[in-house]
Amino acid sequence: MAAGRELRDYLSVSSGSASSSNPSGGLEEAVEHLYRRAYGEASRLGRIIGRVTRYREVELGEDLTVEVDVDPEEYFSGEPLRIGSYLVIVDPKPVRQGPEERPRRVLGVVKSIVREDELAFLGVEAPMSSYNGEPDPRGVLTSARVKLRLLTEDTPGGVAPATGGVEPQAPVVDPEPWVIAEMLDLPDKGVALGALATPSGLVKGGGVPVHLPYKAFLHHVLVVGTTGSGKTTLLKNMIVDISSKRDHNFVPVVLDMNQDFIQIPLPPQQKEGDKAAEGYDEIASLVYRQARRPAGAVVVAPLTTHVIESCGSIERALECYVSESLEPLAGQCSVECSGNGCRASCGRATYILIPYIVSTVDKRMPSDKLVRLMPGITSNAAELLRVLRERYRRSNPRESYPVIHAVYAALALYLEERKWGKEKRRGEELSDDEVEKLIEEYVSPYTPEDFKPLLRIDDVGTSLFNQTVDLKATLDRVKPHKGTVEALFRRLQALLETGVVDVIVGGSGSARLLREPEWSGIVEEAAGRGWPVVVDLRWSWEKGMTGLEGARLVAYRVLERIIAWRHEEWAARRSGSPKVLLFIDEAHQFFPQEGSGREEQEAVRQVAGMISLMARLGRARGVGLIFSTHSPKDLHEIILQLANTKIVLRTEQSHAEKLGVPSELRSFMPLLQDRYMLVVSHVYRGGLVMAATSKPLTMHYDVSA
């Protein structure tokens, strides 16, 4: 009776259309017309496999579930029904969208499947016939009872969450891929993540692409997956897809901790007898059919003083990089160098190699930005650093900051004089020779072997000796507390030990400082070629860049400089300049959850503040951050808050809960197949979708093993 009243209400509202199509105007004829039209629409949308049950009440409650009956012939001959399969109910009640009126489509997902042997259930026959032990199929030639949880429906304003009831006998369709994409309101543009899936397999054989719109990346993304779950494969496939398209203005920039991403221009490894070795499977052929590996990559290689000195020059250091990092992957390469960069041709792949160092001398490194590279520094030490650098800059005709070695040496001299004054040399001053000797003693680990403090450094117009003496004079006037000087001394020592800060080259005859490359040039070079930018942090780390400090310092500086450059572009209203998608692999290494000591805890707090600021600026200035980690429990909470989209591959249930995975899906997360993921994002209708990416579209060789 309730269904009849609901239909009568619909018919009374649109009595004109009902009367025109049914001259008799009878309710029965009108309802029959609606059902016939619903079945006609259903046949257009896919294969009709059943109907909403007519044998039980059809009640739509808070759980949004209804029961449907699937015909036995369709059940046994069609694509197997699984938990998570998508079905569409074509409800006869019409919905008007614009000038058109049509039956209402309702998308549901299978929650349960009930099967019965009805002959056995009714006691007519035993489940197994006694005749020759043969099974009797007659008892199972009955409809399958399937419970659907309704997801979305047609409304006058478009696809919306399902809230309206459905009618008994409404046709149920195994829909075509385009219908599922339409009813889920899946974006048809953006970065291809893979194909729509359920925990048990692909939907429609991988024929429903899942994209993440570019605007979602500007609200930042977190990718989580245990080792071997396919996290790096997903990131590589995303970068290949971005590099293949021209419907955007983004350049991928990767902070690569394991040399995974320098492999992007190279083909997948081929294994004998493996037809899928080239990475092409059903997802690749359907979702990534237009994707092509970039022909090359712009590789930014941090160079330390030690690497340059051991190889002989900047150009030879880059040649060392090619022979040690690229040739084991790509085979023999030819290298041509000009200026401050090199070009390596490795078969069909080409690499533009750019040496990278961090400079504290020019105006792009005011003290507040330098302090961000030293998380954990005390406020007093930071203020002392600011005073020393700013007073030097104002008195310097070039208006440049002092070389960081000079600040470090001046602090050392100040501490030495205090120590000597208390012992036996009270009132005496160090001679120039003694000063030079002490400076050389302190800076020699961070300068070329034949470098002397009295040697003029061309780029700054004076010697390290003169800069140190000037800074020492400022210290004598300021008279800072010994504890503050010692705290700053330790932080600068850690900075210099990374080997990538204010790198001095040259020796007995002349010396110069390496310049920090402009990120505008790096990104625009990559954008013009359609290539990604890879900052290889592993090679220099293995060649002596102290611990994680050097990698973290470079990562923080790259992040800060890219956002600063994008801000300059925004301020100048240069809307056509490239935007950046910054992939931060092993993000827990750079943004840890907590520190053990007091200084480390302060460092974590400062890093959290820095990344929060940069994330907000990046969102407004065209820099999207993609954080990747296998260990979310070690990643700072601020990242979880900043990332509006979370891509979760196979992971622990406790991690899934922390990442906002709905309770009914958490038990699946530790069991997901390789490369399967749950994407939790506001850009999707319903807040999430499950997808699977293809096998690697590029070389995927673990060089860290």
Cβ distance 90 to 42 under 8 Å? yes
Q: Is the pLDDT of residue 603 over 90?
A: no
Q: Which of 459, 483, 513 is the last residue of a domain?
A: 513
Condensed to tens digits (0 to 9), the pLDDT of residues 265-324 reads 999 976 544 544 443 489 999 999 999 999 999 999 999 988 998 898 999 999 999 999
In a domain, 190, yes or no: no
Average pLDDT rounded to a whole number, residues 671-676: 95
pLDDT of residue 1: 39
In a domain, 541, yes or no: yes
d(CA 153, CA 390): 64
Single-letter amino acid code for the residue at 339: G
Residues present in the chain in total: 705
In a domain, 38, yes or no: yes
Condensed to tens digits (0 to 9), the pLDDT of residues 322-363 reads 999 999 999 999 999 987 789 999 999 999 999 999 999 988
- The CATH code of the domain that includes 242 is 3.40.50.300
Domain match, 659 and 525 both = yes
In a domain, 335, yes or no: no
Q: Hey, what are 444's tokens?
A: 């020699």
> How much of the chain exceeds pLDDT 70, in percent?
89
For 662, residues 6+ apart whose C-beta sits below 8 A from its C-beta are 688
pLDDT of residue 38: 96
Domain match, 542 and 688 both = yes
Average pLDDT rounded to a whole number, residues 697-702: 87
> How much of the chain exceeds pLDDT 90, in percent?
64
- Pick from 37-51, 81-95, 368-382, 423-437: least confident: 423-437
Domain match, 167 and 219 both = no
pLDDT of residue 141: 85
**Pairing label, strands 688-692, 623-629:** unpaired
Average pLDDT rounded to a whole number, residues 403-417: 94
Q: Is the pLDDT of residue 426 over 60?
A: no
Average pLDDT rounded to a whole number, residues 569-590: 91
**Run of H or E including 145:** strand 144-155
Domain match, 486 and 549 both = no
Count of domains for the chain: 3
Condensed to tens digits (0 to 9), the pLDDT of residues 440-486 reads 999 999 999 889 999 999 888 899 999 999 999 999 999 999 999 99
**When comparing pLDDT for 335 and 20, which is higher?**
335
Show the beta-strand stretches assigned E in 523-655.
533-536, 579-584, 623-629, 645-648
d(CA 607, CA 104): 52
pLDDT band of residue 428 (cuts 50, 70, 90) is: low
Domain match, 156 and 264 both = no
In a domain, 311, yes or no: no
Cβ distance 381 to 488 under 8 Å? yes
Q: Is the pLDDT of residue 654 over 70?
A: yes
Condensed to tens digits (0 to 9), the pLDDT of residues 173-184 reads 999 999 999 999
For the chain, give the mean pLDDT: 88
Partners of 106 in the β-ladder: 89, 153
**Run of H or E including 558:** helix 549-571
* Cα 137 to the center of its chain, rounded Å: 52
pLDDT band of residue 133 (cuts 50, 70, 90) is: low
Domain match, 44 and 179 both = yes
Q: Is the pLDDT of residue 699 over 90?
A: yes
d(CA 100, CA 674): 44
For 115, residues 6+ apart whose C-beta sits below 8 A from its C-beta are 140, 144, 145
Domain match, 18 and 161 both = yes
Per-residue three-class SS string for 381-433:
HHHHHHHHHHHHHHHCCCCCCCCHHHHHHHHHHHHHHHHHHHHCCCCCCCCHH
Domain match, 476 and 557 both = no
In a domain, 459, yes or no: yes
pLDDT band of residue 599 (cuts 50, 70, 90) is: low
- Provide the domain limits for residue 677: 197-302+323-328+519-692
pLDDT of residue 397: 83
d(CA 666, CA 201): 17
Domain match, 434 and 286 both = no
Average pLDDT rounded to a whole number, residues 422-446: 77
For 373, residues 6+ apart whose C-beta sits below 8 A from its C-beta are 358, 495, 553, 556, 557
Rounded to a whole number of angstroms, the CA Rg of the chain reads: 33
Domain match, 508 and 527 both = no
Q: Is the pLDDT of residue 692 over 90?
A: yes
pLDDT of residue 686: 79
Average pLDDT rounded to a whole number, residues 72-92: 90
Cβ distance 260 to 254 under 8 Å? no
Nearest CA to 467 among 381, 385, 407? 407
pLDDT of residue 278: 40
Q: Is the pLDDT of residue 122 over 80?
A: no
pLDDT of residue 219: 94
* Cα 40 to the center of its chain, rounded Å: 44
Q: Hey, what are 203's tokens?
A: 């939907």
- Pick from 136-145, 288-297, 380-389, 414-423: least confident: 414-423
d(CA 641, CA 663): 20
- Pick from 78-87, 254-263, 540-549, 679-688: least confident: 540-549
Query: According to the per-residue pLDDT averaged within each range, which of 46-60, 115-129, 500-514, 610-624 is highest?
Result: 46-60
Q: Hey, what are 606's tokens?
A: 């400062």
Q: Is the pLDDT of residue 132 over 70?
A: no
In a domain, 443, yes or no: yes
Partners of 350 in the β-ladder: 296, 345
Domain match, 494 and 567 both = no
pLDDT of residue 125: 59
Quick one: residue 381, left, alpha or beta (phi over 0 = left, psi -120 to 50 = alpha)?
alpha
CA distances (Å), 180 to each of 167, 569, 617, in order? 21, 41, 37
Domain match, 484 and 535 both = no
pLDDT of residue 116: 85
pLDDT band of residue 432 (cuts 50, 70, 90) is: confident
For 627, residues 6+ apart whose C-beta sits below 8 A from its C-beta are 220, 221, 222, 223, 584, 587, 591, 635, 639, 643
Backbone dihedral angles phi then psi of residue 374, each to the nearest 5 degrees? -130, 60
Cβ distance 567 to 280 under 8 Å? no
Q: Is the pLDDT of residue 537 over 90?
A: yes
Cβ distance 131 to 141 under 8 Å? no
CA distances (Å), 104 to each of 110, 153, 166, 284, 686, in order? 19, 7, 9, 34, 19
pLDDT of residue 500: 93
Q: Which of 486, 513, 540 is the last residue of a domain?
A: 513
Sign (positive/negative) of CA torsion 463, 465, 467, 470?
negative
Q: Which of 513, 539, 573 is the last residue of a domain?
A: 513
Q: Is the pLDDT of residue 130 over 60?
A: no
Half-sphere exposure at residue 676, Cβ-oriented, CA atoms within 13 angstroms: 19
Average pLDDT rounded to a whole number, residues 132-144: 75
Average pLDDT rounded to a whole number, residues 46-51: 96
Cβ distance 305 to 504 under 8 Å? yes
In a domain, 411, yes or no: yes
Average pLDDT rounded to a whole number, residues 567-581: 92
d(CA 108, CA 92): 16
DSSP string, 653-671: HHHHHHTT--HHHHTTGGG
